[in-house]
Structure 1
Amino acid sequence: MANYHTTARPRTNAARICTILGFVFAAIAVFISPLLFGLAGLVLGIVGAVLGDKPLGWYAAAASVVGAVVGALLFAALIN
């Protein structure tokens, strides 16, 4: 029987909460203040991933960037 050692951190509740908030902020960034909520979602997604909620933390970080870009494009389209 092989003895496998993992170096990944176990997922904590704090990691899951950060990841969920990252996804929520990504959705909010589309409609309200893309820069503020997109950046906050990015940071929370990265924190969630580092604390052990992989790969969902990285997905939350990417979704926040996409939400910020889409929100900025919608804002620019509404102004013109």
Structure 2
Amino acid sequence: MTDMHSTARPRSNAARICTILGFVFAVVAVFLMPPIFGLVGVVLGIVGAVQGDKPLGWYAAAASVAGAVLGMVLAAVILNA
């Protein structure tokens, strides 16, 4: 018998796909349109976490925020140089 809590959801393929896409959008946000791709990455990371991919989904959301901030700082440095 497994030792799962009654509130724990099994991880689905859709949750894993959302999480992976969240990480992909985090990387894309560094180089291309940071606010848009960063926001999409955050949403996909949260959806992945809610659907059952708990730790990686939240990491993808955090990475998307970091990617968006880094992309905006990088763009500001390049445009002001």
How would you bin the TM-score normalised by the shorter chain? Answer: over 0.9
Counterpart code for 2:48: G
Q: TM-score, normalised by structure 1?
A: 0.93
Distance 1:21-1:5 versus aligned 2 partners, 3 A rule: closer
Aligned to 2:11: 11
Aligned to 1:44: 44
Distance 1:37-1:9 versus aligned 2 partners, 3 A rule: same
Report runs of 4+ in structure 1 exceeding 4 Å deviation.
none
CA displacement, residues 19-55 of structure 1 (integer Å, 9 cap, x when unaligned): 0000000000000000010000000000000000010
Q: Give identity over the alignment, percent.
A: 72
Q: TM-score, normalised by structure 2?
A: 0.92
- Figure out how many residues of one structure are paired with residues of the other and give that number: 78
Tell me the SS of whatever aligns to 1:11.
coil
Gaps of 5+ in 1: none
Gaps of 5+ in 2: none
CA displacement, residues 45-77 of structure 1 (integer Å, 9 cap, x when unaligned): 000000000100000000000000000000000
Distance 2:27 2:4 in 1: 37
Tell me the SS of whatever aligns to 1:55.
helix
